[in-house]
Amino acid sequence: MFANLSDRLTETFKSLRGKGRLSEADIDGTIREIRRALLDADVAVPVVRSFTAAIRERALGAEVSGALNPGQQVVKIVHEELITVLGGEQRPLRLAKHGPTVIMLAGLQGAGKTTFAGKLAAHLKAQGQTPLLVAADLQRPNAVTQLKVVGERAGVPVFAPEAGVTREDERARGNPVKVAKKGLKEAQDKQHTVVIVDTAGRLGVDAELMRQAADIRKAVEPDEVLFVIDAMIGQDAVATAQAFQEGVDFTGVVLSKLDGDARGGAALSVAQVTGRPIMFASVGEKLEDIEVFHPDRMASRILDMGDILTLIEQAEQKFDQAEAERMAVKMQRGEDFTFTDFLSQMQQLKNMGSMKKMLGMLPGMGAMRDQIDNIDERELVRTEAIIQSMTPLERDNPKVLNGSRRARIATGSGMTVADVNSLVKRFEDAQRMMKAMAKGGGLPGMGAGPGGFAGLPGGKKSKGKQAPQRKVKGKSGNPAKRAQQEQAARSRSAGEQPAAPAGSAFGLGAAPQQDLDPTQIPSDLSKYLRR
């Protein structure tokens, strides 16, 4: 969602690099570009004004003028002010000390309240809570049925004593306030720890909606009232949020559809305008596509600094700890890496979610957005099909894969023999890498260039067993290699051991590491997933 804003801000900061001192004109020009980028992203005008004024005030002070690298200091100021605009710090849900915690959802129709209710229930269930969903939306056709389906997928019970509207031309039936009261009583009787009340929405803000939502709030006295807002509606998000704040007085905000391609102005406006924290973000259609909103991490994503902490948390949640320990013990013992292990690692990687999303959380990936978008994530599915078409003997002993076996595997997986051969070749490379790591020898195929890994710019592709190198007495015509030869000669004359070449295992004796230059990355990354 923030791709365009991120690109604009990154491009703006490039003009500040390498400057030992920033003039007032430099700062004004930078702030002008930031203002344009925010307005293009549909951020509310009052928010833009206060944001840029705060940056200008700090940038013209001693904080920047006395810095060794003023350009980086300006980026730091923008990052900190973005965190402030997004709410400052993450606030967790307030849980009741006695009785069930009551969470009421409010918002316009189509914002994604019902879907988020299921996601939140699944999220809380994973934390050891026992949630109950209450279907108090009796206005929208089949809203009750949708909540039942979502609850069944999440494995959470749904309290729905009223069927609600089932057709467009049908008049509303039932009393949502009474349904909410009965739902709370049901949760108390059956000892549920959390009650999530899904309320009705409208196509626009109106008095009836606000009165009904206020009556439900008064009846159940919720611990949290979460306002679910579509992150794609832009400037109108401010007026809608203010209307709900006055009518219902919500305690937190949920940004839905944050995985869309809109400009994202709502996310940068609603917390600042309402003074209420953004607590959750819905980033997809699946039940697991819910994130606790961290203002500092979102600010880092917008400035293309990555979000490593979220990536680590996802890995900790999805990866099987017992399987990871088993693989660690296997590597320590020097046992062979098999196709069974390969399949297990692939399945755990798939459990983490979209490969594109994971790569997008790495710092500096904004410059590679087109290459990441070209990655074919179905390649993992094809690879999995090939391995699952092997017998247990073939998975544990790949050396038995002769021509007839490979033809059978190709037929069974719906692939070609060339696809199977390509996978076996990649597996053999991975197997050699695992053996080298187990022996403490680092990664094989590390070249002297900045790329390092085999197959990337600056590295060399592994060709199996390498032929012994022929000794050359004269100096090399390669400047880098000639410099290494001269350094080795000086070390020998001084009685020292020759230094390790650049790119040696774990960086021992290596030359200072260079920053990655995005322009040196291939235009199409999909070839590294090629069959």
What number of other Cβ atoms are within 10 A of residue 391's Cβ? 12
Whether the CB-CB separation of 231 and 1 falls below 8 Å is answered with yes
User: Which runs of consecutive H residues, i.e. helices, occur in 136-235?
Assistant: 143-154, 176-189, 207-220
Q: For 297-371, list the strands marked E by DSSP.
A: none
Two structure tokens written together for 261: 């391609």
pLDDT at 350: 72
Whether the CB-CB separation of 310 and 361 falls below 8 Å is answered with yes
Two structure tokens written together for 42: 């549909």
Return the percent helix, strand and coil in the chain, to nearest 5: 50, 5, 40
Binding residues for GTP: 107-114, 198-202, 256-259
d(CA 504, CA 470): 20
What is the band of 384 on the pLDDT scale with cuts at 50, 70, 90? confident
Give pLDDT tens digits for 90-107. 888 888 888 799 999 988
Q: What are phi and psi of 227, to 5 degrees?
A: -95, 110
Mean pLDDT for 292-320 is: 73
Q: Is 58 helix (H, G, I), strand (E, B) or coil?
A: helix
Percent of the chain with pLDDT over 90: 13
Considering the chain, what is the average pLDDT of its residues? 75
Cα R_g (the chain), whole angstroms: 29
Pick left, alpha or beta for residue 458 (phi over 0 → left; psi -120 to 50 → alpha; otherwise beta): left
pLDDT at 232: 74
Closest C-alpha to 459, from 467, 447, 471, 468? 447
CATH of range 3-85; options 3.30.500.10, 1.10.12.10, 1.20.120.140, 2.102.10.10: 1.20.120.140
Binding residues: 107-114, 198-202, 256-259
> Is the pTM for the entire model greater than 0.85?
no
pLDDT at 96: 86
Give pLDDT tens digits for 387-444. 989 998 998 888 888 989 999 999 998 999 999 998 888 888 877 877 776 666 444 4
Greater model confidence, 359 or 169: 359
**Residues forming beta bridges with residue 159, ordered by sequence position:** 134
Fold of 313-438: 434 Repressor (Amino-terminal Domain) (1.10.260)
CA dihedral 247, 248, 251, 254 (to 10 degrees): -90
pLDDT at 356: 66
Give pLDDT tens digits for 183-200. 999 999 898 999 999 988
- Residue that has been written with the tokens 């997928």 in this structure: 153
Q: Is 101-301 a CATH 3.40.50.11540 domain?
A: no
Q: Domain coordinates of the chain in residue numbers?
A: 3-85, 101-301, 313-438
